[in-house]
Amino acid sequence: MAELHKLVATLRTALEAGTSEPARAQEPPAEVPLAHDAYRAELVTRFARELEAVGGRFLGILTLAETIARLVALAKNARMVAIGKGVAIDTGAIAAAIDRAGVPIMRTAPTTDPEARGAFRDRLARADMAVAEADYAIASTGTLAVLTMPSRPSSLTLLAPASVILVQIGRIVPDLAAALEAFGTDTLAAHRMTLITGPSRTADIEKRIVLGVHGPKSLDVIVVWPHDD
Amino acid sequence: MAMTAGSTPRDFFQASAAGAADHELRRKLENASARHLAHFAEVRGEFTPYEDERTAARAIKQEAIGRLDELLIDLTKRLEAHGCKVFFAANAAEAREHIVKLAQTSGAKRIVKGKSMTTEEIGLNPALEAAGMEVLETDLGEYIVQLRREPPSHIITPAIHLSKEDIGNLFREKFGIPYTPEPDELTAEARERLRESFLHADLGITGVNFAIAETGTLVVVENEGNGRMCSTLPDVFVAVMGIEKVIPKLADLPHFLEILGRTATGQKLTTYTNFIQGPRAADDLDGPRDMHVVILDNGRSAMLADPVLREALMCIRCGACLNVCPVYRHIGGHAYRSPYPGPIGSIISPNLVGSAAAHLPFASTLCGACKDVCPVKIDIPRILLHLRWKETSGPTPPEWPAAARRARAGARRFARMARHPRTMRILSRIAAAILKPVAHDGWIRRMPPPFGNWTKLRDFPRPRPRGRRAVKRQDAEG
Ligand code: SF4
């Protein structure tokens, strides 16, 4: 790495030449404490409000059974629905139900074969709805935080025009700092991660907001209640 | 299409005069800026810790820039551990050649790009095209200006100088589709066309907003999803970043994201924030097989060596200073002939695109709006003054246009005169007396030559010099 050493040498000289002004004047403000149980409802409300403000749709807090019913209804007119692996939720049950309803589905299976990978992408590009589960949801901005893993590819929340993202109610955190802390530095050093705040959008023509430019045109979110009681 | 590296002062005079005289352009810029400022006021208003976040972000950048050497070593080590190939480019030519070589060795024919001012800075597209590759800009605004074979005119909104009608006409001409000025129809057309390209591209290129040394993560912020496509779908991915993008810790990032979205586009958070640490794992279903990171100096370490200029390295390229700048709003981004227009552009362009942009620090009224709006509180007027001082402390360069040389000689005479208050007072009384008959309702709309140029584009209030007694009274009141 000859180049690095050259650059570092230049930088050191430069740093000395332009004597630094006093470093960090103040520590960043302390983090908001993590939510406790009684605070959950408030977090969900805030999340839902922010999500709708950026053009997403909040489909409610549903039990797993209700979630499945809702997804089957959403998938009714789809030519193909892609379903990723869950984080805390068993998405196999969802896939089975949509399949039973007669809608073609595709699942995500890790592969090391380049051809299988290419075939997966081509199929995914034809799906008009994709279901994924987020690792966390961020209340203050209406954001979903999704890791990329072998059976949870990033294109699942990118290519299909209709994106549906599930998140477990216990995984809603107050703000971005809390989400990054929950992931931890090791996880983020090992995997890609995407923060998704609403459907894809642009304001490049006269600063007018248009939803659905390259990524999903719609983003629906279901907060899943873990018990069917 | 290439950004010519700067231009002469004469070009700037001509281009800015053309921009200022283009009423249509000014209407578009005013329109877009006003809409932008309204969004911004909205999201900023309901976010109380905004000031705290600014302070925190500034402090972090200050620390990061003071430790750039260690942070870059950490970042590089981690990125390499994740499987990235890292290359340091001392200047634009090195970066260009390296990326062209990468594209050639990987056999790339079709390249998709996310918005990246750094790649504009190094003139990457023409180099790739010259090597026989097809390069497609995929950010909607960039796509539009690329179709016009034009450079972007704003760092956040590249096609800000175009109206929806202009774009409707462009699409009709280029694609043979029926004319429509509707932003959603135009966007849908671009989506269709670009989707195919994403799926078939061999190489993707994006810029980088932040690079976290602690985790070896590149953070790419965008709204459209095109950045995600470029970094996820092609087999080879190249990220290009300036050395100043590095921040120390993961926990530092929220401070920047909080303010960047708000000031850049009036959003609490941009739609997609991509955390990219390396190429795909062996059994991943997507992501690039090879990932390259190009870290660019190109004049930045020279800025670091100047204690005043160093502050400009804190810039997070939010574009807010452009939106509030009366000069930018008057003449438009193209007049600057640099990928970085506006107040911050006037500071960094001379250092990044070369001495040909040395006149840009003078293209400012020093009104201070940029400093007020800057999310990391960069004291832009102070740096502009510093650069002016650096540029003018020597003899007048002969290549300056006559008008600029005259203005400079005049300013020097004025400076000498201003040291003698009594002469000043007498002269200003004479001037006021001369100008009195020219004024109407206290305003001067036209002046006799050689001052006529001043009144072509603006009116002046009639000078009313205060008499000696008025001055004394004010002094006494303190
Ligand atoms: S100087 Fe400040 S306001 Fe201007 S682009 Fe940079 S960060 Fe934004």
Domain A36-225, CATH: 3.40.50.10420
Helices marked H in B149-280 — which ranges? 164-175, 183-200, 226-232, 253-265
Q: Phi and psi for A212 in degrees, rounded to 5?
A: 80, 55
A158 touches chain B (CB under 8 A): yes
**Contact: B183, A117; criterion CB under 8 Å:** no
- Average pLDDT of chain B, as a whole number: 86
Q: What beta strand segments (E) does chain A contain? A: 57-63, 81-83, 105-107, 129-133, 136-138, 143-147, 162-168, 172-173, 193-196, 201-202, 210-211, 218-225
C-alpha B250/C-alpha A61 separation (Å) is 31
Mark which of B281, B301, B321 sits at the end of a domain: B301
Side by side, the strands of the sheet bearing B203-207 are: B85-89, B290-296, B236-242, B203-207, B110-113, B134-137
C-alpha B272/C-alpha B136 separation (Å) is 21
With respect to residue B107, please indicate whether it lies within any of the assigned structural domains.
yes
With respect to residue B213, please indicate whether it lies within any of the assigned structural domains.
yes
Question: At B361, is the pLDDT very low, low, confident or very high (cuts 50, 70, 90)?
Answer: confident
Q: Do the beta carbons of residue B320 and residue B372 sit within 8 Å? A: no
Give the β-pairing of A218-225 and A193-196: unpaired
A-chain residues near B305 (CB < 8 A): 13-14, 17-18
With respect to residue B461, please indicate whether it lies within any of the assigned structural domains.
yes
E strand or H helix at B55: helix B50-66
Question: At B41, is the pLDDT very low, low, confident or very high (cuts 50, 70, 90)?
Answer: low
B-chain residues near A201 (CB < 8 A): 223-224, 271
Our CA-based measurement puts residue B254 at a distance from the nearest CA of chain A, in whole angstroms, of: 6
Token representation of residue B17 = 């005069």
User: Whose CA is closest to B32, among B187, B169, B222, B162?
Assistant: B162
User: Whose CA is closest to B13, among B331, B329, B326, B408?
Assistant: B331
With respect to residue B180, please indicate whether it lies within any of the assigned structural domains.
no
Question: B129: Cβ–Cβ under 8 A, 6 or more apart, which residues?
Answer: B135
Place of tokens 């589960």: A133
* pLDDT at position A30: 47
User: Whose CA is closest to B121, among B335, B314, B298, B281?
Assistant: B298
E strand or H helix at A68: helix A64-74
User: Whose CA is closest to B332, among B45, B49, B30?
Assistant: B30
Q: What is the ipTM of this complex?
A: 0.86
Token representation of residue B64 = 């990061």
Q: How many domains does chain B fold into?
A: 2
Q: Which of B311, B315, B349, B360 to mutate to test the pocket of ligand 1 (most atoms within 8 A of CB)?
A: B315
Domain that holds residue B427: 420-477
Chain Cα centroid distance, residue B273: 21
User: Whose CA is closest to A81, among A58, A61, A59, A108?
Assistant: A108
Question: A184: Cβ–Cβ under 8 A, 6 or more apart, which residues?
Answer: none
Nearest residue of B to residue A149 by CA position? B284
Which residue has the CA at smallest separation from atom 8 of ligand 1?
B318
Residue A165 CA to ligand 1 center (angstroms) comes to 34
With respect to residue B23, please indicate whether it lies within any of the assigned structural domains.
yes
* pLDDT at position A17: 78
Nearest by CB to residue A204, choosing from B141, B216, B257, is B141
Decide: helix, strand or coil at residue A187: helix
Mark which of B283, B301, B319 sits at the end of a domain: B301
E strand or H helix at B294: strand B290-296
**Could you give the angle at the alpha carbon of B340 between the alpha carbons of A14 and B222, nearest 5°?**
100
| pTM (predicted TM-score) | 0.83
**Contact: A10, B301; criterion CB under 8 Å:** yes
A-chain residues near B167 (CB < 8 A): 205
With respect to residue B45, please indicate whether it lies within any of the assigned structural domains.
yes
Domain ranges of chain A: 36-225
pLDDT at B356 over 80: no
Share of chain B above pLDDT 70, in %: 86
Question: What sign for the dihedral angle of Cα B160, B266, B325, B21?
Answer: positive
pLDDT tens by residue, chain A, 229 residues:
456 777 778 887 888 777 655 444 445 444 444 446 667 888 999 999 999 999 999 999 999 999 999 999 999 989 999 999 999 999 999 999 999 999 999 999 888 888 899 999 999 999 999 999 999 999 999 999 999 999 999 999 999 999 999 999 999 999 999 999 999 999 999 999 999 999 999 988 888 889 988 999 999 999 998 865 5
Residue type, B38: A
Cis status of the peptide bond prior to B450, with omega within 30 of 0? yes
With respect to residue B212, please indicate whether it lies within any of the assigned structural domains.
yes
C-alpha B80/C-alpha B277 separation (Å) is 10
Residues B277 and B426 in one domain: no
pLDDT in tens, B42-71: 665 555 578 888 999 999 999 999 999 999
* pLDDT at position A143: 98
C-alpha B112/C-alpha A200 separation (Å) is 18
With respect to residue B4, please indicate whether it lies within any of the assigned structural domains.
no
Q: Do the beta carbons of residue B246 and residue B68 sit within 8 Å? A: yes
**Contact: B224, A194; criterion CB under 8 Å:** no
Nearest by CB to residue A158, choosing from B144, B225, B270, is B225
Residue type, B176: G
**Contact: B284, A1; criterion CB under 8 Å:** no
Q: What 8-state DSSP symbol labels residue A88? A: S
